Structure 1
């Protein structure tokens, strides 16, 4: 296991390197990395609902008639990325829904014959199906990593279902044509596991519980170099990776992005719309994590033209990839503020 302190030194990050505060427009005074982070470890209970091709597992907090916020996790994470965010939002009167994405936790496919597809539009339509099943017409969508991409797509293609958007990393809709072109070597290095999953060795590693555990832990360590999480925090999330469809879903997602795997024809129309890089007009706050190796340079300028409605951008100094779990107060403030833009 990698020692976090020695790993931080290797990256030139000291134990006290996590800066406090928010930088950028609309910064919330007092919201900073570590505020109330780790205050909660579990959700009260997990519920299940049949939605589309899935039986979706989800946590729900807050009043039944509150304004709805749907919080979407990424990879390799699960609903525990929002274990502090959800109670904070519930305290403010929001109805908070935190679902396991397909292939994670207690979410299961209803049929063994269903293709274990993880292309971007399929996951986005899972969210619409979940909203329909829970009779939610509109919601604030908030996410990071896969969750940002999913929320972006719903906001772009189904804006009538999205009250507002909080998107870590900005505009993350996958452009498969652009993905065929090489990036700068340093950027390619950060994506090592994407290429690993393109190989048979990578697929076998994801199917092996011990190798999968160590691989996902390595990703946590590398993309959140300033986050001082303990083993128990990781293990709570790693339990979600024991889903029987986890390996198939994860491997297909990354292979599909590189045009190494096909999607399903029923999503071709949606993917054609997404290939045109549709703009997002709903009120939006984008968050950049300073210590996330995937954060694009330029303070949000690379994707600013994709957001045409009320908009703010914020940078979180000292924060890594798992923004909601590393900086819950800052994430909550972004959700609240996005709804008032």
Structure 2
């Protein structure tokens, strides 16, 4: 494994690379509030299969940095998708298998929906992860609304101050609430929590959660992408939805309601006792699912 960096239009993206440089590319994308350590047991297994495995830190995390102070510290969905495609462009990757959950799953779904020719296959925890921001005007059920407490907290200046001062406590609590069966230790948490010390972490997170509810402006450079995402584009690439059965923020429904968003081969695999952080809680199942997709897409 080696760590490297690549410059896009607005970012200096840090990433880890495993496996042979000539292998079929696989990009592993972490979510909030996690980092590349979520794939510590996934990446080496795929590298042994001969894959070129790339694991970037998202904007606002770890050693990834913005190039200029003038760029809006946006965490909106269009920014995440744009960053992924730029990352591929700058590394000369024409087509890759994508794996992601939470924010990383959103980036992967956006790339698959808008640029299907760039995506060999998709492993997305939770399935279709592209927002219809207009739908956020409609309240959800009380059961679901209470799971969004942290989002409403971040909508306030108290929430910004709280995340600035208590980011480790807040993110640790989210780990526990979202993965109630996962008995992680403090050393495991701290390996990822170090990424939250990024100087842009708070601004990116706050903008992300405010933007989706219409409480913060988006990046003008990304308005075209946001307009495309508002149409809720279908995903045509072969996809497996690897959904934690005990996901504390997005519980898996008994009936899969995601299939309608996919026009290509699609299936859902439920993982009992697994929470939100699927690749770190269930690395073997993650590797198996991706191997199945890679095998299927070689035919």
**Fold match, TM over 0.5?**
yes
Is 1:99 paired with 2:60? no
CA contact (8 A) 1:190 1:294 kept: yes
Q: Give 1:307's aligned residue.
A: 262
Question: Where do residues 89-238 of structure 1 align in structure 2 (5 Å cutoff)?
Answer: 89-208=46-165, 211-238=166-193
Aligned residues: 296
**Structure 1 contact 288–299 (Cα < 8 Å) conserved:** no
Q: CA distance change for structure 1 residues 50 and 118 in 2, over 3 Å: closer, same or farther?
A: same
Deviation at 1:90, TM superposition (A): 0.6
CA distance in 2 between partners of 1:299 and 1:87 (Å): 33
Cα deviation 1:81-138 (Å, max 9, x = unaligned): 1011100111111110000000000000011111111111111110111111111110
| Greater share of helix | 2
Superimposed CA distance per residue, residues 232-273 of structure 1 (whole angstroms, 9 cap, x where no aligned partner): 000000000000000000000000111101102222221111
Q: Which has the higher contact order (CA 8 A, sep 6+)?
A: 1
Alpha carbons 2:30, 2:101 under 8 Å: kept: yes
Cα deviation, 1:146-173, whole Å, max 9, x if unaligned, reads 1111100000001111010000001110
C-alpha distance in structure 1 between counterparts of 2:197 and 2:153, whole Å: 20
Is residue 38–residue 279 contact of structure 2 (8 Å, CA) maintained in 1?
yes
Segment of structure 1 superposing worse, 287-296 or 107-116: 287-296
Partner Cα separation in structure 1 for residue 150 and residue 64 of structure 2: 24
SS in 2 for 1:178: helix
CA distance in 2, matches of 1:135, 1:60: 14
2:43 equivalent among 86, 99, 102: 86
- How big is each residue's C-alpha offset from its partner over 1:150-207, in whole Å with a ceiling of 9 and x where there is no partner? 1000000011110100000011101111111111111111111010000001101122
What residue is the counterpart of 1:240 in the other structure?
Answer: 195
Q: C-alpha displacement at 1:60, in angstroms?
A: 0.3
Structure 2: which 5+ residue stretches go unaligned?
A: none
Deviation of 1:299 after TM superposition, in Å, equals: 4.4
| Maintained 8 Å contact 1:283/1:339 | no
Higher Cα radius of gyration: 1
Name 1:275's counterpart in structure 2.
230
Mind listing any 5+ residue stretches in structure 1 that lack a counterpart? 1-43
- The 2-side partners of 1:261 and 1:52 are apart by 23
2:210 is the alignment partner of 1:251? no
Return the offset for 1:293.
Answer: 2.1
Maintained 8 Å contact 1:180/1:258: yes
Q: Which moved more, 1:103-112 or 1:180-189?
A: 180-189
Residue 298 (structure 1) shift: 3.3
- Tell me how far 1:300 sits from its aligned partner: 5.8
Query: Residue in 1 aligned with 2:9?
Result: 52
Q: Secondary structure at the match of 2:242?
A: strand
Structure 2 partner of 1:263: 218
Where does residue 273 of structure 2 map in the other structure? 318
**C-alpha contact (below 8 Å) 2:12/2:65 kept by paired residues:** yes
- TM-score, normalised via structure 1 length: 0.85
**Cα offset for 1:297?**
4.3
SS of equivalent to 1:270: helix
CA RMSD of aligned residues (A): 1.1
Decide whether the 8 Å contact of 2:244 with 2:252 is kept in 1: no
